[in-house]
């Protein structure tokens, strides 16, 4: 069953800081911000860890604000309700092709990038995905057409201008669409 608009609004509050936009913070002191952020962080982590609805986890991942790092996405990936389509979405939303020009995290750090080890995150996710650790369920996802069939937008090939510098490859399985039982793929 699709995620309701009301529930999607709640998920966006958690995934991309929309709660801040809906809260009057005019008189917030530093302590108020600390409390607000701690409560929101705890609620977000609990949602990602404990939610058993694959569609809600997928909606969260698809609206996640990557400026906030990937720690909560690790919680989703550790959640037994996380389907292969969601894992693949997270992988491609992390822009894995950008990192192909670096042999490892140390090479990336040498150019002053990757403060929270996205390469390690991608490597762990990739290894689990290749091992088929995530079940194919009702959800589908195609990295070449993340907005659906017929869409010209693609997450694949966005770093082709860097291809001459690539020192690694992405396993072929990461390019394959996931055809879930309820998807139109």
One domain, residues 96 and 109: yes
The mean per-residue pLDDT over the stretch 102-126 comes to: 82
Residue 15 pLDDT greater than 60, yes or no: yes
Q: Which of 1, 121, 104 is nearest to 64 (CA)?
A: 121
Residue range(s) defining the domain that contains residue 97: 83-185
Tally of structural domains, the chain: 2
pLDDT at 7 over 70: yes
What pLDDT, on a 0 to 100 scale, did the predictor assign at position 114?
Answer: 61
For residue 44, give the nearest of 73, 3, 81, 78 by alpha carbon: 73
DSSP codes, 134-154: S---S--B-TTSTT-TT----
Residues 110 and 162 placed together within one structural domain of the fold: yes
pLDDT for the residue 112: 77
User: At residue 115, does pLDDT exceed 80?
Assistant: no
Residue 157 CA to residue 95 CA, distance in Å, equals 10
Burial, 87: exposed, middle or buried (Cβ in 10 Å; 0-12, 13-18, 19+)?
buried
pLDDT in tens, 22-32: 888 889 999 99
The model's pLDDT over 117-126, given as tens digits with 9 standing for 90+, comes to 888 899 999 9
Out of 81, 103, 118, pick the residue that ends a domain. 81
Nearest to 64 by CA among 44, 80, 46, 50: 44
Query: Which pair of tokens denotes residue 51?
Result: 């939610």
- Greater pLDDT, 117 or 131: 131
Looking at the structure, tell me whether residues 76 and 121 fall in a common domain.
Answer: no
Q: What is the pLDDT of residues 49-58, one digit of tens each?
A: 999 999 999 9
Instruction: Name the band, by pLDDT with cuts 50, 70 and 90, for residue 184.
Output: low
Where among 81, 97, 118 does a domain terminate? 81
* Phi-psi domain of 69 (left: phi exceeds 0; alpha: psi -120 through 50; beta: other): left
Selected residue with higher pLDDT from 114 and 139: 139
Same domain, 102 and 149: yes
My answer on whether 56 and 118 are in the same domain is no
Mean pLDDT of 25-42: 92
Same domain, 34 and 113: no
**Cα separation, 185 vs 183, whole angstroms:** 6
Q: Do residues 98 and 56 both lie within one domain?
A: no
Q: Which of 55, 81, 107 is the last residue of a domain?
A: 81
């Amino acid at each position: 069953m699709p995620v309701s608009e009301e529930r999607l609004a709640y998920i966006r509050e958690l995934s991309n800081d929309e709660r801040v936009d809906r809260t009057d913070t005019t008189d917030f002191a530093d302590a108020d911000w600390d409390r607000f952020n701690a409560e929101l962080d705890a609620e977000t982590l609990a949602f990602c860890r404990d939610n058993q609805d694959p569609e809600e986890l997928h909606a969260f991942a698809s609206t996640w604000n990557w400026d906030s790092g990937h720690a909560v996405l690790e919680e989703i990936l550790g959640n037994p309700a996380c389907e292969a389509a969601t894992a693949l979405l997270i992988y491609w939303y992390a822009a894995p092709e950008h990192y192909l020009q670096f042999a490892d995290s140390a090479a990336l750090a040498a150019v002053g990038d990757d403060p929270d080890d996205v390469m390690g995150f991608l490597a762990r996710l990739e290894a689990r995905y290749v091992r088929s650790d995530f079940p194919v369920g009702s959800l589908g996802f195609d990295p070449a057409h993340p907005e659906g069939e017929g869409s010209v937008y693609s997450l694949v090939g966005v770093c082709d201008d860097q291809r001459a510098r690539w020192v690694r490859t992405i396993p072929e399985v990461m390019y394959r669409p996931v055809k879930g039982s309820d998807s139109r793929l």
